[in-house]
Amino acid sequence: MARKIVVTSGKGGVGKTTVAANLAAQVSLRGARTVLCDADFGLNNADVVTGVENAVVYDVVDVIEGRCRAKQALVKHPKFTNLHILSSAHSAPERYISPQAFKLVLESLSPNFDFVFIDCPAGIDEGFHRAIAAAEEAIVVTTPQISAVRDADKVITVLKSYELESVSVVINRVRGDMLLSGAILSPEEIAEILKTPVLGILPEEDEVLLSEMTDKTKAFRLLALNLTTEKKKMFDVTKKYTGFVGGLRRFFRGI
């Protein structure tokens, strides 16, 4: 049976889809049969982010309305061969999808996969509840900004009303230079505020998604390792800014 993990946050734009897609890709590279399911029926961009949008034939709504089986709606990723993408409502974006129907689709896939990542919409209304109700575990994505951490805190409170097996936090878009200068909240401070364990730290990096060996890819590899094993290794975002070269980097950035 697959581990069903929702990737959520309070705030929009903090990196839910980025985290869900890259984490799913890295977990799949570790040999796990993985599904990335788009539960964001409004923006539905998981297929775009993973670059398979032109290969989408069926989506979740087609499965629920009986036009195909769940397995037929999966798009196999051309590069990450263990990764499959299940798109949300391209065919009928306005259609009401009940939490039960959505959950049943994921349950029908569960015996054939090891991981199902659910990309949650922003906010804490209907779409959020539908995504959470289908999951057994939650990853809350935040950035080190106070407003994002405050929203993450609200979401974690709401998550307590669900019987989830685990809730953890991923801190995205962390700038090593700002961390060193104390301009942003540290991972330790965030863990303390949220009273929730940190599963991973991801650097701010303007790289093409699912790309080669960037710092972001290394950080996502560690995140996948932390999720799939007992290990808890954090990516060091400050490494780039320490030592002689790092010192120069900070000097020229004026920090």
Ligand X SMILES: Nc1ncnc2c1ncn2[C@@H]1O[C@H](COP(=O)(O)OP(=O)(O)O)[C@@H](O)[C@H]1O
DSSP for 144-174, written as a single string:
SSHHHHHHHHHHHHHHTTS--SEEEEEEEEE
Residue 163 interacting partner from Mg ion, ligand X, none (CB closer than 5 to 8 Å by kind):
none
Amino acid occupying residue 201? I
Residue 4 interacting partner from ligand X, Mg ion, none (CB closer than 5 to 8 Å by kind):
none
Residue 205 interacting partner from ligand X, Mg ion, none (CB closer than 5 to 8 Å by kind):
ligand X
**Sheet of strand 137-142: strand arrangement:** 74-76, 83-86, 34-38, 115-119, 3-8, 137-142, 166-174, 198-203
Question: Pairing relation of β-strands 3-8 and 137-142?
Answer: parallel
Least separation, in Å, of the C-beta of 204 and ligand X? 5
| Comparison of 90 and 216: residue with beta carbon closer to ligand X | 216
Query: Distance between CA atoms of 17 and 36, rounded to whole angstroms?
Result: 10
Least separation, in Å, of the C-beta of 103 and Mg ion? 20
Residues forming the site for Mg ion (CB under 5 A): 16-17
Least separation, in Å, of the C-beta of 240 and Mg ion? 27
| Comparison of 12 and 93: residue with beta carbon closer to ligand X | 12
Residue 250 interacting partner from Mg ion, ligand X, none (CB closer than 5 to 8 Å by kind):
none
Query: Distance between CA atoms of 43 and 24, rounded to whole angstroms?
Result: 19
- Asked whether 35 and 70 are in contact (CB, 8 A), the reply is no
| Comparison of 68 and 209: residue with beta carbon closer to ligand X | 209
- Asked whether 116 and 6 are in contact (CB, 8 A), the reply is no
- Asked whether 163 and 17 are in contact (CB, 8 A), the reply is no
Least separation, in Å, of the C-beta of 63 and ligand X? 22
Least separation, in Å, of the C-beta of 73 and ligand X? 21
Residues forming the site for ligand X (CB under 6 A): 9, 12-18, 122, 172-173, 202, 204-206, 216
